[in-house]
Amino acid sequence: MNHYQQAIRIQTNGKSLHKITPKVEKIVSDANIKTGLCTIFVRHTSASLVIQENADPNVLKDLSNFFAKLVPEDSISYIHDDEGPDDMPAHIRSALTHTSEQIPISGGRLVLGIWQGIYLWEHRQRSHQREIVVHVTGT
């Protein structure tokens, strides 16, 4: 069993979804693992990872709009607001989604569906430097 690990740094521009599929695919290719598993982990508590529709950008807009309604940003609903009114809502959104994803590898490639893409979801209003660790295991 072989292991390969690399970090990706993404500069966000506030609340948005950033497609990271090509960066993860490059790491899997560099790992030279034909059959295995790719684990992706974001090292933050106010951002998350999602595997989602990669063809129609309206899906991402609808997701963002839904989460804005589900977890509103207001100063009366939360106790924790050390970094502003979007602080606790960002933590809740991260808890409702994922901080890690696992994707099988076959033939040296991620086994994603044709319409699936991997996204870093920034939940904060201001820009942040986010780090994602990609760990590839297999033979």
Domains and CATH numbers, the chain: 2-138 (2.60.120.460)
DSSP 23: H
Interatomic CA distance for residues 70 and 24, integer angstroms: 30
pLDDT at 10: 98
Q: Is 30's pLDDT higher than 90?
A: yes
Residues 28 and 36: their CA atoms lie apart, in Å, by 10
pLDDT digits 0-9 by tens, 32-88: 999 999 999 999 999 999 999 999 999 999 999 999 999 999 878 888 978 888 899
Give which of 75, 101, 107 is closest to 89, Cα–Cα: 75
**pLDDT, tens digit, 9 for 90 and up, residues 94-125:** 999 999 999 999 999 999 999 999 999 999 99
